[in-house]
Amino acid sequence: MDRMGKIIFYEDRNFQGRCFECSSDCPELSSHFSRCNSIRVESGAWVLYERPNYMGSQYVLTRGEYPEYQRWMGYNDTVRSCRIIRHMSGSHRMRVFERPDFLGQTMEFSDDCTSLMDRFHFREVHSCKVMDGAWVFFEQANYRGRQYLLERGEYRRFSEWGAMHPTVGSIRRVQEY
């Protein structure tokens, strides 16, 4: 299903300075603004990337106001591409595996998890199957650290969701509010 959305990027904090409005995927944003210090998500859920062509650090944003880049857990004011999250649904279901190629111990999720270590006594996820909804893996517990968006589909190894290593500290569903 193709989803509609609207996001507005501002060069300065608190929605000041030059702005750019976007309602579809954009593989290259640097021609529209040089830096991004605040964002308004008017509709939809979005994933922002630090580099062009949907590469580099990812930041998942849902409807709301982000008056400075720290509010979306950005490391700096660099946003170079974005896309709307399409595979959202009311229900969420995902299975994670401790080994590549869907092997080893497995757990199924239908809700957020603030700490994989506290709940399941391990922090490495090597493969994953997303049956319903869209999810975000965070490197650290309590939804901190690098973020990785996982939409419906199969991920045979952590590199397929863009991670450099298999550490997952927490998991959150992407929900449109």
Q: For 67-97, what is each residue's pLDDT tens digit? A: 999 999 888 899 999 999 987 778 999 999 9
Q: Are residues 80 and 98 in the same domain?
A: no
CB 135, CB 150: distance < 8 Å: yes
> What pLDDT digit, counting tens, does each position of 17-66 carry?
999 999 999 999 999 999 999 999 999 999 999 999 999 999 999 999 99
Question: Would the CA dihedral through 110, 161, 174, 170 be positive or negative?
Answer: positive
The domain in which residue 133 lies consists of: 93-173
Write down the pLDDT at residue 3: 59
Q: Would the pLDDT of 109 be above 50?
A: yes
Instruction: Judge whether 70 lies within some domain.
Output: yes
> What pLDDT digit, counting tens, does each position of 137-166 carry?
999 999 999 999 999 999 999 999 999 999
Q: How many CB atoms lie within 10 A of CB 117?
A: 13
Which CATH number characterizes residue 108's domain?
2.60.20.10
- Of 114, 112, 95, 117, give the one whose Cα is nearest residue 104: 95
Write down the pLDDT at residue 119: 84
Of 28, 57, 84, the residue that ends a domain is 84
Q: Are residues 99 and 139 in the same domain?
A: yes
Whole-number percent of the chain with pLDDT over 90: 86
Q: Are residues 61 and 105 in the same domain?
A: no
Amino acid at 151: E
Of 50, 84, 118, the residue that ends a domain is 84
Write down the pLDDT at residue 1: 40
Q: Are residues 59 and 121 in the same domain?
A: no
CB 172, CB 136: distance < 8 Å: yes
Instruction: Judge whether 1 lies within some domain.
Output: no
